[in-house]
């Protein structure tokens, strides 16, 4: 490998995505496609088994791995529009057939337009469009010279986001903008930050540009946000025909996240600058699971600092890292479900039985605080993608998911039921964090599927309280 920095890899991936945006044919283009992909990380063809590797299948016969780096990576490539689930199952079969010393940690599946990366050691899956590949360069850090990069939420960008949001929140408190109105405002902002960076508002960072166009002294920003939040709650056919075209370009966000009438703070130069710093972060690379940490500063804001810390401790609203959450929920419940899903003798009938059983499971976090355990549990269950035989309902079928009583309607594989809580806690701030995390996570996740996230029905009216017992 030649020495390539992460920033260089990011730049290389941007050029790579532009070069290959129109590729479609598996056999004609795939070999050169992957050779150019590896070059983004300084890997020469002779440094790895770039092209097909023949393996003996356990059930008899032979197969060909599209691209293979022993001990590190299997690539399975399909023509544009083909199923990445089928590609993953094929790669998993190859993995099993390999000698143990050659079995890789990572599997990449792609159809030119989409990339899906699975970390088999951490049992995590990440997916993005080809056009977004440069923004996901950190995912592929294991291809750079040196130690593999972990895909984890405890990243510098996550910490920076939490810090920037806490600065904005504290400045609003100092300006005497407090209480429920502050909680609602911060929840809406966090959703807008994610929506802006993940394509829900379009590809041109519409929200950030709207804030940038406001006056430098911030005097018109409050009115602009008031109007925006009203527009986001209006279907396109209900909007005023003379509406400013920059506002009219925003998609309708169904549900009631923007329905409640709540005050908007008055801005000055400094508050505008803090909001703009938050908006200009690349939120597409930030985990919604950190919302709990962001909202800790909202809890008990009227008390002195020492009492606020004590109150948060009583409420259980401390942020737990994703790594530690997974150390609890994997052996507790998720490992058994995954074992059923990936059983060697699985059949269509057994997969259907598992699919039908998922909605009957009850998930209880007895000290949910800001809901991080439930959000991660939801994400991991969604990431445990059921193979094609279980997709009988098709992309148009919608089921309901409850996290606490955080509620969202989810397509096809989303038959997960988190039951309503038995004992609500008093803090609306924890609820705000959990609600915004779930909605942002779900919309971003479903941007990968045929049902566009803008068309999903998010029922924020049904949001309840996180648990504390």
- Same domain as 225, residue 201: yes
Same structural domain for residues 104 and 199? Answer: no
Does residue 197 share a domain with residue 95?
Answer: no
Residue-level pLDDT at 37: 92
Domain boundary at 143, 177, 197, which?
A: 143
Same domain, 386 and 267: no
Q: Is 133 helix (H, G, I), strand (E, B) or coil?
A: helix
Give, in order, the Cα–Cα distances in Å from 319 to each of 60, 163, 196, 418.
49, 14, 25, 20
Answer whether residue 237 is part of any domain.
yes
Inter-residue contact 192 to 224 (CB < 8 Å):
no
pLDDT by residue, tens only, the chain of 469 residues: 446 777 788 889 999 999 998 776 655 577 888 889 999 988 876 665 554 566 655 455 567 788 888 888 999 998 888 889 889 988 888 887 777 778 889 999 999 999 999 998 877 899 999 999 998 888 998 888 653 444 444 456 677 887 888 889 889 999 999 988 998 899 899 889 988 887 788 778 899 999 999 999 999 999 999 999 999 999 999 999 999 888 999 989 887 889 999 999 999 999 999 999 999 988 877 766 665 555 554 444 444 444 444 444 343 344 566 777 787 888 888 888 878 877 777 777 887 888 788 777 777 666 555 566 777 777 777 666 554 333 333 222 323 333 333 333 333 333 444 343 333 344 444 444 455 544 444 444 433 333 333 333 333 332 222 222 1
Say whether both 104 and 160 belong to one domain: no
pLDDT at residue 332 in the model: 81
Q: Is 180 helix (H, G, I), strand (E, B) or coil?
A: helix
C-alpha distances out from residue 314 to 119, 308, 370, 427, Å? 36, 10, 13, 11
**258 inside domain:** yes
Q: How far is CA 380 from CA 124, 199, 322, 325, 330, in A?
A: 8, 22, 11, 11, 9
Q: Is residue 184 part of a domain?
A: yes
Q: Among residues 265, 286, 307, which one ends one of the domains?
A: 286
Residue 54 lies in a domain: yes
Query: Last residue of some domain: 117, 143, 169?
Result: 143
- Cα three-residue angle 93-121-32, rounded to 5 degrees: 60
Residue 304, domain member (yes or no): no
In whole angstroms, give the CA distance from residue 95 to residue 105: 10
32 and 93 housed in the same domain: yes
163 and 109 both lie in a single domain: no
Pick the closest to residue 453 from 176, 150, 199 (CA basis).
199
> 81 and 171: one domain?
no
Domain match, 160 and 280 both: yes
Q: In this structure, how many other beta carbons lie within 10 angstroms of the beta carbon of residue 311? A: 15
Q: Which helix (H) or strand (E) holds 62?
A: strand 62-65
Question: Do both 73 and 37 map to the same domain?
Answer: yes
* Structural tokens at position 386: 């059921």
Which strands make up the sheet holding 124-129, listed edge to edge? 67-69, 73-77, 106-110, 114-119, 124-129
If we measure between CA atoms, which residue out of 446, 257, 245 comes closest to residue 236?
A: 245
CB-neighbour burial class of residue 154 (10 A; exposed 0-12, middle 13-18, buried 19+): middle
The verdict on residue 94 lying in a domain is yes
Instruction: Count CB-CB contacts under 10 A for residue 405.
Output: 17
CA distance 235 to 200: 15
Residue 334 CA to residue 331 CA, distance in Å, equals 6
Does one domain contain both 108 and 24?
yes
Count structural domains, the chain.
3
Which domain does 231 fall in, by range? 156-286
Q: What is the CATH number of the domain that holds 117?
A: 3.90.1570
Answer yes or no: is 149 within a domain.
no
Residues 329 and 239 in one domain: no
In a domain, 422, yes or no: yes
Q: CB within 8 A of 101, min separation 6: which ones?
A: 70, 71
Contact 401, 408 (CB under 8 A): yes
């Amino acid at each position: 490998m030649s020495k390539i920095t992460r920033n260089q890899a990011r730049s290389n991936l941007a050029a790579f995505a532009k070069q290959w945006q129109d590729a479609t044919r598996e056999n004609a283009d795939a070999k050169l496609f992957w050779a150019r992909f590896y070059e983004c990380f300084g890997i020469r063809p002779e440094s790895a088994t770039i092209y097909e590797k023949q393996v003996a299948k356990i059930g008899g016969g032979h197969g060909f791995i599209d691209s293979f780096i022993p001990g590190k990576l299997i690539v399975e490539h399909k023509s544009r529009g083909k199923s990445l689930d089928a590609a993953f199952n094929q790669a998993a079969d190859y993995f099993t057939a390999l000698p143990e010393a050659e079995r890789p940690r990572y599997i990449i599946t792609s159809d030119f337009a989409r990339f899906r990366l699975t970390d088999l050691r951490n049992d995590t899956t990440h997916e993005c469009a080809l056009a977004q590949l440069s923004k996901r360069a950190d995912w592929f850090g294991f291809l750079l010279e040196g130690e593999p990069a972990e895909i984890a939420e405890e990243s510098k960008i996550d910490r920076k986001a939490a810090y920037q949001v806490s600065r904005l929140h504290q400045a609003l408190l100092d300006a005497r903008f407090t209480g429920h109105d502050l909680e609602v405002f911060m929840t809406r902002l966090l959703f807008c930050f994610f929506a802006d960076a993940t394509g829900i508002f379009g590809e041109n960072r519409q929200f950030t540009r709207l804030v940038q166009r406001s006056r430098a002294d911030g005097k018109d920003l409050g009115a602009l946000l008031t109007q925006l939040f009203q527009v986001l709650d209006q279907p396109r056919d209900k909007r005023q025909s003379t509406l400013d075209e920059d506002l009219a370009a925003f998609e309708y966000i169904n549900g009631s996240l923007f329905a409640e009438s709540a005050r908007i703070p008055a801005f000055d130069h400094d508050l505008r600058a803090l909001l703009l710093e938050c908006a200009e972060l690349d939120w597409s690379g930030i985990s919604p699971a950190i919302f709990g940490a962001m909202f800790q500063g909202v809890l008990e804001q009227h008390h002195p600092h020492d009492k606020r810390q004590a109150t948060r401790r009583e409420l259980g609203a401390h942020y737990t890292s994703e790594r530690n959450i997974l150390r609890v929920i994997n052996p507790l419940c998720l490992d058994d479900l995954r074992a059923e899903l990936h059983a060697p003798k699985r059949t269509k009938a057994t997969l259907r039985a598992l699919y039908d059983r998922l909605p009957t499971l009850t998930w209880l976090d007895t000290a949910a605080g800001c809901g991080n355990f439930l959000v991660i549990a939801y994400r991991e269950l969604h990431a445990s993608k059921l193979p094609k035989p279980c997709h009988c309902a098709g992309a148009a079928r919608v089921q309901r998911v409850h996290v606490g009583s955080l509620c969202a309607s989810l397509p096809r594989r989303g038959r997960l039921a988190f039951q309503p809580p038995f004992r609500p806690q008093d803090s609306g701030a924890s609820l705000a964090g959990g609600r915004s995390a779930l909605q942002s996570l779900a919309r971003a996740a479903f941007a990968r599927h045929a049902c566009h996230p803008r068309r999903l029905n998010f029922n924020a009216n049904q949001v309840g309280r996180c648990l504390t017992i």
